[in-house]
Structure 1
Amino acid sequence: MIAVTMWYEAFSLVPAYMDIANSRWLWLATVPVVSVVLLQAAIFLRRAWQDGKEMGLSDEQLRSGFKTGFISAIGPAFAVLAGMLALIATVGGPVAWMRLSVIGSVAFELPAAEIGVSQFGYSLGDGDITREAYTTAVWTMTLGGTGWLLVSALGTPHMESARRKIANGKDDLIPVVSSAAMLGAFAYFLSGEIPAGTPETGSVAAGGLVMLVVLHIADKRDAQWVREWALGTAMVVGLLVGVAIQVTVGSWW
């Protein structure tokens, strides 16, 4: 009897809208979206291999490149997984699966969902969120991310010509421009994290230090496989250090 009572109390804490958020129909509705993402990944993988062959790259070089990309994706995958756990608790498994498969940014999805439910006077985590408020949150997340998809679809075909114009016809500058763009992207994201708090600052510092150490070891031993693990290792270590600082000392600013 006690066990039944505890189960009932725990079950009653689950918001009513979660019946819809985790329904089988919503799972079925999200399958086509995720399937398109997987199909795109397969097509890009196949095209990348074919284009690499046309450029004269060997199978060993192509395998090395793909392995580097796979390892480098481990760090961001951990961050997305942690964000998905938070998103599942608020909007349910199907929507979290769909949204993070398409966009992959919990930093956007959670605030968007919060904006949606706030129009009805609720906040994420409230137990009495209505179905209408939940539906509004899902629409806010979906429509809010449409702009990124449109920019990618319409702007990507012109990126290569823009890069060549920036290089001003000098092929030697193209790798420099590409590297500078990547460094600028990393710097842009880090610039917002460093002043955010002690855990964020510690995470960035630890990740950067690990990156330098791993690259130094790779250069010293001329080990390409070590270099391939550099970015993924730095991201994972930075993530763990940030969590450890948050749990132990918290944020000092």
Structure 2
Amino acid sequence: MSYLQLANSFPMYLIVGIILLFIASTCIVFMRKSYKAGLKIGMDRKILNGAITSSAAFTILPSVSILLGVIALSGSLGVPASWLRLSVVGNLQYEATVANIAAENMGTKLDSSVLTMNNLVTILLVMIVGIIWGCLLTIFTLKSYSSKLKLSQSSKKSSNGGFANFAMTGMMIGLCATFVGSYIATAFVKANATPLITLLVSGLFMALFDFLSKKYSTSWLENFSLSLAMLAGMVSAVIVNLF
């Protein structure tokens, strides 16, 4: 049995299905409890139903990009593992980066033709260990941390949000610079321009969608912009590799 047959085997689907069923059941229980609590404190059913409808629409539209992420990762990690990782916690940028780092440190690459089940187990373990700390720290430190963030309006010296905004902006710039630098190096050192072309096409389409959504006030395009930009990047990668 090949690597992808094992990665997409029934036991893998069964394990992932049980985990996701438990998570979905927990969400339904909390949703019912929240709905009943809202009625108990006197909230109107129409307001509650409207909140459910708008939240569902807001969740479904951006999730298209998550589906594309599952498709992108499933070629190397299999559908069940990719489905689990992107359904519970994590995002495509983190998952793909960490999986690639783990594969390279094992002396292989993120390619189903060379990966083994031992590689898959190691990659998934690295993913889990790398991302679990946010969940654990939230349980034990979020309450005390959030109390420190409650600043009065008078204590704010400027409208830019203070250090937190600068820190997040700096982190994103550093993250983008790392990716762009690696793609440029791949293009000129390894003579593989596919990652760089994919990045440029995705960025151009994202900028185009952002311009159109602001110019014509199309909120639906804003919700789909990330998914469409990712899809455009994937298509460009396929076209580049065909020629």
User: Equivalent residue of 2:106, what SS?
Assistant: coil
Q: Is the 8 A contact 1:208 1:234 kept in 2?
A: no
Of 12, 21, 46, 1:35 maps to: 21
What residue in structure 1 maps to residue 151 of structure 2? 166
Q: Is the 8 A contact 1:190 1:204 kept in 2?
A: no
Q: Is the 8 A contact 1:88 1:96 kept in 2?
A: yes
CA RMSD of aligned residues (A): 3.9
Percent identity, aligned pairs only, is 20
Does the C-alpha gap of structure 1 residues 37 and 132 become closer, same or farther in structure 2, counting only changes over 3 Å? same
Q: Deviations over 1:27-63 (max 9, x none)?
A: 2222232122212221331233234334543111111
Shift in Å, 1:73: 1.2
| TM-score (normalizing by structure 1) | 0.65
Q: How does 1:1-253 map to 2 (within 5 A)?
A: 16-125=2-111, 127-157=113-143, 161=147, 165-167=150-152, 197=200, 199-200=202-203, 202-204=205-207, 206-207=209-210, 209-210=212-213, 213-214=216-217, 230=219, 233-240=221-228, 243-244=231-232
What residue in structure 2 maps to residue 221 of structure 1? none
Does the C-alpha gap of structure 1 residues 242 and 21 become closer, same or farther in structure 2, counting only changes over 3 Å? closer
User: Equivalent residue of 1:145, what SS?
Assistant: helix
Range moving further from structure 2, 104-113 or 202-211: 202-211
Range moving further from structure 2, 203-212 or 60-69: 203-212
Q: Is the 8 A contact 1:112 1:141 kept in 2?
A: yes
**Aligned length in residues:** 210
After superposing on structure 2, the runs of 4+ consecutive aligned residues of structure 1 that deviate more than 6 Å are: 189-193
Q: Deviations over 1:212-243 (max 9, x none)?
A: 7447xxxxxxxxxxxxxx3x541214532564
Gaps of 5+ in 1: 1-14, 169-176, 216-229
| TM-score (normalizing by structure 2) | 0.68
The separation in 2 between residues aligned to 1:35 and 1:132, in whole angstroms, is: 26
What residue in structure 2 maps to residue 12 of structure 1? none
The separation in 2 between residues aligned to 1:205 and 1:54, in whole angstroms, is: 47
User: Equivalent residue of 2:206, what SS?
Assistant: helix
Shift in Å, 1:85: 0.3
The separation in 2 between residues aligned to 1:57 and 1:84, in whole angstroms, is: 38
User: Equivalent residue of 1:121, what SS?
Assistant: coil
Q: Deviations over 1:180-223 (max 9, x none)?
A: 8xxx6xx8598777x974532541552465267447xxxxxxxx
Gaps of 5+ in 2: 154-158, 181-198
